Amino acid sequence: MIPAPFDLVAPSAYRHRHLESGETVFRQDEKARGLFYVQDGQIELRRYTQNGQNVVIHRASNGQTFAEASLFAQNYHCDAIAIAPSHLVELDRAVILKKFVEDAEFSLALAKRFAGQIRGYRRKLEILAIRSAEDRIFAAIEEGQLNGSIKAFATDIALTHEAVYRGLATLVDKGLLEKKGRGKYVVR
């Protein structure tokens, strides 16, 4: 199922893709074909510094879109790699842009969706600014950011996975979190 407002676009604009872990969705500088919706799985967007260091700039998972900037760019600005088996829907750039110009309802709904994503990114930056590891972990869990592995979560909140494991144990001991299973925690 495609989320709003993409459900207003003709299904001929969709291309379903299945990727195994490690497969590439696109590479930096490739011609932009469109943006992507993650039906199931996880995709990392990676850029490389001048000295070759790999920097994860975003991790998209179930229900999220990525490569939105490709609507307004000729080429992709990063690599997109599946880090888990993933089912994607590629949304054709030309069709989306045409719909954007011709349909005000679609344009407003798309702007609203993107504005919500920006609010989420800003909240993530706020969480990254929290100095205490325990407080950062707790805030991120409150925001629903623990939706994959502990190691991926640790990367997302700029902590080592060892620090996250220690912080989770402390938060459980303090009664602030409840462990529901392996890698599953909820706020009490």
Better-scored residue on pLDDT, 138 or 53: 138
User: For residue 172, is pLDDT > 90?
Assistant: yes
H-type helices in 4-147, by residue range? 93-102, 104-128, 133-142
pLDDT digits (tens, 9 = 90+) for 141-170: 999 889 878 988 898 899 999 999 999 999
Q: Which two tokens stand for residue 121?
A: 């990114």
Find the helix or strand (DSSP H, E) in which 164 lies.
helix 161-173
CA 53 to chain centre: 20
Does the pTM of the predicted model rise above 0.85?
Answer: no
Rounded Cα gap, residues 188 and 178, in angstroms: 6
pLDDT digits (tens, 9 = 90+) for 42-63: 999 999 888 888 888 888 988 8
Mean pLDDT calculated for residue range 117-144: 93
Q: Which two tokens stand for residue 159?
A: 């902590």
Find the helix or strand (DSSP H, E) in which 129 lies.
none
pLDDT digits (tens, 9 = 90+) for 54-107: 888 888 988 899 999 999 999 999 999 999 999 999 999 999 999 999 999 999
The burial of 89, by beta-carbon neighbours within 10 Å (0-12 exposed, 13-18 middle, 19 or more buried), is given as buried
Q: What local confidence, expressed as pLDDT, does residue 14 receive? A: 94
